Amino acid sequence: MQEHIQRTLILFKPDALQRGVVGEILTRFERVGLKVIGTKMIAPDAQHYFQHYEEIGQLQTRRGEQTMANQLKTMSQGPVIAMVLEGVEAVDLVRKLVGSTEPKSAAPGTIRGDFSHMSYGYSDATDQGIPNLIHASGDLDDAEKEIPHWFSEDELYDYSVLHEKFTR
């Protein structure tokens, strides 16, 4: 794989499935040229999420143990759709499209800016997790740890999409 071609993990969280916006969000990734190389719907147990957030280190630990408990509760409200996307500098591109983790701070035009609005303050005051629709790997190192946590190598596919024929 070329140096600039990367893989990244995204998770459509339970609130994205419950609101019926998975297709709209996925379209944004496909429109910029990212390709889906792995996908599945799964309802992980608490241990799987704990490993993802605590051991891989995705949760902002500065917000504390209650934040972790709230996040696990939010993620357990239904299944998620896990995907691996591939493309040119995919990790940074996906983070840019997704927007800030705190929906209130996400810029208009980003996924979280357009589809959610919760703030950390409201979340903390009401003792609930933040429904921010999607998880995206924070950086390349996280992506390299997260992908094998969610997918085996035989669940990832190598194929060409039309635009790749014109960009090589």
Tell me whether residue 93 is in a domain.
yes
> The domain spanning residue 143 has which CATH number?
3.30.70.141
Q: What is the pLDDT of residue 57?
A: 58
The predicted model scores a pTM of 0.89
Q: What is the pLDDT of residue 133?
A: 95
Find the mean pLDDT for residues 116-135: 88
Find the mean pLDDT for residues 109-115: 96
| Cβ–Cβ under 8 Å, residues 26 and 82 | no
Please give the structure tokens belonging to residue 57: 């280190």
Q: What is the mean pLDDT of the chain?
A: 89
Q: Does the structure show a pLDDT above 60 at 166?
A: yes
pLDDT in tens, 45-93: 988 988 887 766 554 455 567 777 788 888 889 999 999 999 999 999 9
Domain that holds residue 38: 5-160
Domain count for the chain: 1
Candidate from 15-24, 110-119, 122-131 with smallest mean pLDDT: 122-131
Kind of pairing between the strands at 5-12 and 35-42: unpaired
Tell me whether residue 166 is in a domain.
no
Active-site entry in 52, 135, 149, 163: 135
Tell me whether residue 27 is in a domain.
yes
Q: What is the pLDDT of residue 75?
A: 86
Per-residue burial over 123-162, b if 16 or more Cβ lie within 10 Å, else e, is beeeeebbbbbbbbbbeeebbebbbeebbeeeeeeeeeee
Q: At what angle do helices 22-31 and 90-98 cross, to 10 degrees?
A: 140
The number of angstroms, rounded, from the C-alpha of 30 to the middle of its chain's C-alpha atoms is 15
Q: Does the structure show a pLDDT above 70 at 12?
A: yes
DSSP code at position 76: T
Q: What is the pLDDT of residue 111?
A: 97
Find the mean pLDDT for residues 107-121: 93
| Active-site annotation holds for 135 | yes
